[in-house]
Amino acid sequence: MHHLRFASTERAIVVFIIIMMITTIRIVVLPIQRTLAVAAATTQPISPMLPTQSSSMSLTNIFKQAQNSIVLITAPPIAKNQNVSLGAGFIYDKNGHILTAADVLEGTKPPIDIMFSDGNFYSARIIGKDSYSSLAVLQLDKSALSQEKIQPLPILSNSSTLEIGQPVAVIGYPYGLTFSFSSGLISGLNRFVPIQSNSKFSFPGEIQFNGIINPGDSGPLLNLDGKVVGLVNQINTGSNGTFSGINFAIPSNAIQKIVPQLLATGSYKYPWLGLDGSSITPEITRAMNLKNQTKGVIVGSVAKGSPAYTAGILGGRQTMINGQKYTLGGDIVVGVDNKQVRNIEDLVSYVDFGKSVGDTIVLKVLKGGNVIKNISLKLSERPTTLH
């Protein structure tokens, strides 16, 4: 494969040819699909839906302010029968680092090309990637730093201040179409989203929004101040690939925690408890004779040798109730470090975003349905696979 570097008079023609040549979308088919490693398609994206709420900046001005910080990423596939991968990214800092979804780079090889809004192309290399969050960091070639005006996008310092109903916008490259703008509303927060079809891990804290998002929109999710509140990484489609109006983005809090480690070491180490569980439901409450309104995480299983295993946390057993599987009899985590744990999302979010490998936490655990114990344990590094 050759570099996708074109003379300015030829770029529009070549981009059109690329779009028309590619006929498949490189998406793993999951109930919730990762979308953003894309070869272009002949299908056209749906027109954006615009929010009607008042804003501190007009949608037009958001686009004008951000467009020079959004880039098109292209990379050839490793497999000969695959197509060129296309996706969006944004400039993270003045050093020429670019953030994108890791799926854009999945199954690709050098050369990786970056196109700016002025049509100029530069090469880049991967310096860090995390498949769990689907975050990847690229380093622009030095020539870009001297020839382009590098304009990093500001990142919201605390995504926990986001609210449902808040307008958001996305600038991306759906199906390879340059600088497409879409907008919508935040429709959910702190979503617990499965990561991979072969993984037992899920990523917590994701932002759900309802803008019209298509494969290739792997760019930033912006608020109406033009700040990055997340990075678009997943869309939910029906079994036939139709748009459902449910999209997800990695929150800015996670970006700010994970990216510095990717820059420093190329990977991210997740802290690990070593248990899996589920939120308390009315069925579990009745079956275990718990007090009404008991909230927490009932432990399903504990990984041997994990911090939870060493600390004596006990798992439960699977039982059928009204045709559904439930975990009964396990320990119930009701608090961590003097904070209430209402559900599994609370526990995983606190550990993943609030703690690091080697930190010590104190779990408040309900044992036997009526005995409260405070159990201290030291978090270890999450293994890549669980057996």
CATH of the domain at 347: 2.30.42.10
Are residues 222 and 313 part of one domain?
Answer: no
∠ CA 148-182-349, nearest 5°, is 90
Residue 1 lies in a domain: no
229: left (phi over 0), alpha (psi -120 to 50) or beta: alpha
| Confidence (pLDDT) at 32 | 37
Token pair 């997943």 is found at: 234
**Number of CB atoms found within 10 A of residue 271's CB:** 20
First to last CA, the chain: 39
Are residues 153 and 48 part of one domain?
Answer: yes
Distances from the Cα of 216 to the Cαs of 38, 105, 223, 300, in angstroms?
6, 12, 20, 38
The last residue of one of the domains, among 245, 265, 285, is: 265
Are residues 129 and 53 part of one domain?
Answer: yes
Residue 346 lies in a domain: yes
Largest CA distance in the chain: 74
| Confidence (pLDDT) at 235 | 76
The whole-model pTM stands at: 0.79
Are residues 241 and 281 part of one domain?
Answer: no
Are residues 32 and 156 part of one domain?
Answer: yes
Are residues 77 and 170 part of one domain?
Answer: yes
Check if the beta carbon of residue 340 is closer than 8 Å to that of residue 372: no
Determine the Cα–Cα distance for residues 186 and 245; give it in Å rounded to an integer.
11
Spell out the SS3 assignment of the chain. Answer: CCCCCCCCCCHHHHHHHHHHHCCCCCCCCCCCEECCCECCCCCCCCCCCCCCCCCCCCHHHHHHHHHHHEEEEEECECCCCCCCEEEEEEECCCCCEEEEEHHHHCCECCCEEEECCCCCEEEEEEEEEECCCCEEEEEECHHHHHHCCCCCCCECCCHHHCCCCCEEEEEECHHHCCCEEEEEEEEEEEEEEECCCCCCCEEEEEEEECCCCCCCCCCEEECCCCCEEEEEEEEEECCCCCEEEEEEEEEHHHHHHHHHHHHHHCCCCCEECCEEEEECCHHHHHHCCCCCCCCCEEEEEECCCCHHHHCCCCCCEEEEECCEEEEECCCEEEEECCEECCCHHHHHHHHHHHCCCCCEEEEEEEECCCEEEEEEEECEECCCCCC
Are residues 37 and 15 part of one domain?
Answer: yes
The last residue of one of the domains, among 249, 265, 281, is: 265
Are residues 136 and 51 part of one domain?
Answer: yes
Identify the CA nearest to 349 among candidates 287, 284, 270.
Answer: 270
| Confidence (pLDDT) at 385 | 72
Residue 3 lies in a domain: no
Are residues 298 and 227 part of one domain?
Answer: no
What's the pLDDT tens digit per position in 324-372? 888 888 999 999 999 999 999 999 999 998 899 999 999 999 998 788 9
Check if the beta carbon of residue 209 is closer than 8 Å to that of residue 49: no
pLDDT beneath 50: ranges in the chain: 1-55, 197-198
Residue 24 lies in a domain: yes
Are residues 184 and 142 part of one domain?
Answer: yes
The last residue of one of the domains, among 237, 265, 293, is: 265
Check if the beta carbon of residue 327 is closer than 8 Å to that of residue 317: yes
User: Torsion angle, CA of 292/295/297/299, rounded to 10 degrees?
Assistant: -20
| Confidence (pLDDT) at 202 | 81
| Confidence (pLDDT) at 195 | 66
| Confidence (pLDDT) at 173 | 83
Are residues 255 and 279 part of one domain?
Answer: no
Question: Does residue 307 have a cis peptide bond before it, meaning omega lies within 30 degrees of 0?
Answer: no
User: What CATH number does the domain containing 111 carry?
Assistant: 2.40.10.120
Determine the Cα–Cα distance for residues 113 and 120; give it in Å rounded to an integer.
10
Note down the domain range covering 184: 11-265
Determine the Cα–Cα distance for residues 150 and 99; give it in Å rounded to an integer.
14
| Confidence (pLDDT) at 307 | 97
Identify the CA nearest to 347 among candidates 325, 358, 367, 332.
Answer: 332
Are residues 190 and 127 part of one domain?
Answer: yes
How many structural domains does the chain have? 2
| Confidence (pLDDT) at 35 | 38
| Confidence (pLDDT) at 305 | 93
| Confidence (pLDDT) at 57 | 80
